[in-house]
Structure 1
């Protein structure tokens, strides 16, 4: 029997040293399902705008686990009872919360696996790992699904102030170089406590919460919904849809076997069996980039043009406005592009499309961020805050976009 030291220390550019807390977590990190996250970009195609944004879901998952370790330590210090089994389950659940992400994070959800979101695939991975590890993930899965009676444990994993958001804001801010997203996660964690099994923030931490919500709003408009990365993701989605369309007509495209499987089959949640899961586990960013490089030279005008756009960062023009773009405006661009390239209206519509984006830094309809006041009453952060802008942050802001080829402006 090999004597591997499983209590590893990892060096993280954000937090310094991260420790693998127990041998079981080490085994999960070493599993091929988890190692795949090294090959999944955390911020999709944002590196086309922010050249440093090449960090991965692997970085993020380990960062979230580190935050969870610190939070458990703080809560125990404040007298909150968390058993060894619960601690392990919380670390497992947060470590695996994003394991279901496909290549380039969100692009796959809208193209190749059309009706299955990454949260559902994460749960499928967790259930499969639970079989492989003889039920050791059962409690983690129970917490992840919100079926465990201690509500605050789910809030640590998925809420408006969870470990996931706290890590990705700090990490994405660091790697993109957008300083506005940097938050004081240490102070937020120090201010956490639990009342009646609900996660609350002590009143003196309110300014850190306000900063957190403001950072989230700025990161969404400046980074996650940046018009260039939005255009790139939409083009990638269109390229994958076109590739799937051609494949289903019997045209075999050069690509990896796992990618071919998803292009040849309609994958829905009820048919997502263990074989499909294993195929999905072999898919990563490299499959997509490799395919796009091959497809640049394909005979199909749509596929080759869209692929070149991503590979060479020669993207569609995108305009964003507070008013909706009309069908007539889109139709005009489509007709002009069809005439310019001698293609059909249907083919040209792959290059002109419109839609909307929405940003809401804080939702009053979702479970609120609760503030524990000095008089022991608990109130929604918006009611306690003296910042008028916090009320503004809880209103959804919708913007509208239209994408079209640059040549239509240049000619």
Structure 2
């Protein structure tokens, strides 16, 4: 095999609360872990603002990335027992698993929405750009970084490799369900990963699963379903995300208006102007963001100051369930009342929607088409999971969506000013809840 990296003289082992141990035998993987871009993931939480709901959710993207690598290592080890694999293909798999989240920014998805970014594009930039990661990967050969990037962007020629890291049952999902359940202290995300790995078999374009292991796969699907609605879409977490995004929006709006910050947000300048470079992006992590949130609690701008105080002190917005299909007939009146009492509705009256599709069968040509999970019968026939499992069939193709309206209840309950208007607002909000 081309490349200057071989096998370590002595295996490196990380103690891990989810997988017990993470094993590193390849010099390439050990060198990637030591790069500054990978170590940056220590300063980015895996679950964004979820720590404000589940206080144990302090684990990082680095924790998760090492876990995905370990799951992939075990997958590849099992596959190599079934068929002969090119040694370089194995390292492409392991590298892609380790680096799949390398492009995440601080507070991940909330940050992306505000600044219209895609962490997968930044992942590609980091792998192919002027970085330590690129230098390490390039030592395996000129084309090696591109191969790793292609796996993550799902354009790699070997579709089996892509499916191991990006499908409806892959190394990424298996680790984050188990890891997020562990650190949030819930039982919903638990499933028998050992059994799933044992019944996994390589096929031409994806991994399939022995029919005898169907119940373990069912359990995995239902665990994912429960984690999304009990943890990932928790309304308190979403309230924190709403405030976080509004802080970033307000800071950007003020910058564009020429506002003079007491503490100039120099880390944000190229971000606000839409001219951010890879070097600038890699300087951003959650410690930087929280530093500014801490400082902006003293700003002259009342909105920025209040939102930052809310986020740092966990004084979050309350919420009511809403049904947008009813067109919220009271919405114009709410906007008018909020404006009258001095609360800018753009920042203090926010509808947030969450949706999830727990499992889907193959719908060719549709947007975000999903490769289905296949079961391998003793006869050699492949059967799509929902055709064999009544449990999975019941939720297949069914997208669940939830809408909530967030607002600052404490402001509305303070009747020292605009008492009648605030009572009217609370009445309208209560009516929305039914």
* TM value normalised by structure 1: 0.90
Q: Is the 8 A contact 1:337 1:405 kept in 2?
A: no
1:235 to 231, 234, 243: 243
The equivalent residue for 1:49 is 53
1:220 aligns to 2:217 (yes or no) = no
Structure 1 range deviating more: 185-194 or 131-140:
131-140
Q: Is the 8 A contact 1:325 1:401 kept in 2?
A: no
The equivalent residue for 1:406 is 409
SS of alignment partner, residue 315 of structure 1: coil
Q: Is the 8 A contact 1:330 1:354 kept in 2?
A: no
Cα distance between partner residues in 2 of 1:408 and 1:332: 18
Q: Which runs of 5+ in 1 are unaligned?
A: none
1:107 aligns to 2:115 (yes or no) = no
1:11 aligns to 2:20 (yes or no) = no
Q: Which runs of 5+ in 2 are unaligned?
A: 1-7, 364-369, 416-434
Q: Is the 8 A contact 2:189 2:223 kept in 1?
A: yes
1:205 aligns to 2:202 (yes or no) = no
User: What displacement does 1:409 show?
Assistant: 5.3
Cα distance between partner residues in 1 of 2:176 and 2:121: 20
User: Any idea what the Cα deviations from partners look like across 1:132-189, whole Å, max 9, x if unmatched?
Assistant: 2333423322333334332110000111111000000000000001101112111111
Q: Is the 8 A contact 2:154 2:166 kept in 1?
A: no
In angstroms, what is the RMSD of aligned CA positions? 2.1
Q: How does 1:235-254 map to 2 (within 5 A)?
A: 235-253=243-261, 254=263
The equivalent residue for 1:152 is 160
Of structures 1 and 2, the larger Rg is shown by: 2
Structure 1 range deviating more: 179-188 or 330-339:
330-339
Structure 1 range deviating more: 389-398 or 153-162:
389-398
Q: 1:396 to 1:407 in 2, by over 3 A?
A: same
1:383 aligns to 2:384 (yes or no) = no
Q: How does 1:106-125 map to 2 (within 5 A)?
A: 106-111=109-114, 113-114=115-116, 116-125=117-126
SS of alignment partner, residue 259 of structure 2: coil
Q: How does 1:304-323 map to 2 (within 5 A)?
A: 304-321=305-322
1:277 aligns to 2:278 (yes or no) = yes
SS of alignment partner, residue 296 of structure 1: helix
1:85 aligns to 2:88 (yes or no) = yes
Q: Is the 8 A contact 2:386 2:396 kept in 1?
A: no
User: What displacement does 1:252 show?
Assistant: 4.1
Cα distance between partner residues in 2 of 1:252 and 1:8: 51
User: What displacement does 1:199 show?
Assistant: 1.4
The equivalent residue for 1:360 is 357
Q: 1:120 to 1:18 in 2, by over 3 A?
A: same
* TM value normalised by structure 2: 0.85
1:392 aligns to 2:395 (yes or no) = yes
SS of alignment partner, residue 154 of structure 1: helix
Cα distance between partner residues in 1 of 2:58 and 2:317: 22
SS of alignment partner, residue 371 of structure 1: strand
SS of alignment partner, residue 390 of structure 2: coil
User: Any idea what the Cα deviations from partners look like across 1:290-315, whole Å, max 9, x if unmatched?
Assistant: 11111112111111111111111111
Q: Is the 8 A contact 1:333 1:408 kept in 2?
A: no
User: What displacement does 1:382 show?
Assistant: 0.3
Q: 1:193 to 1:255 in 2, by over 3 A?
A: farther
Instruction: Give every structure 1 segment of 4 or more consecutive aligned residues whose post-TM-superposition deviation is greater than 6 Å.
Output: none
Give the aligned length: 392
Q: Is the 8 A contact 1:188 1:209 kept in 2?
A: yes
1:31 to 30, 35, 38: 35
The equivalent residue for 2:346 is 349
User: Any idea what the Cα deviations from partners look like across 1:27-48, whole Å, max 9, x if unmatched?
Assistant: 1111111101000010000011
User: Any idea what the Cα deviations from partners look like across 1:58-113, whole Å, max 9, x if unmatched?
Assistant: 00000000001111111112x222221111110100111111111012111011x3
Cα distance between partner residues in 1 of 2:252 and 2:9: 45
Cα distance between partner residues in 2 of 1:311 and 1:330: 29
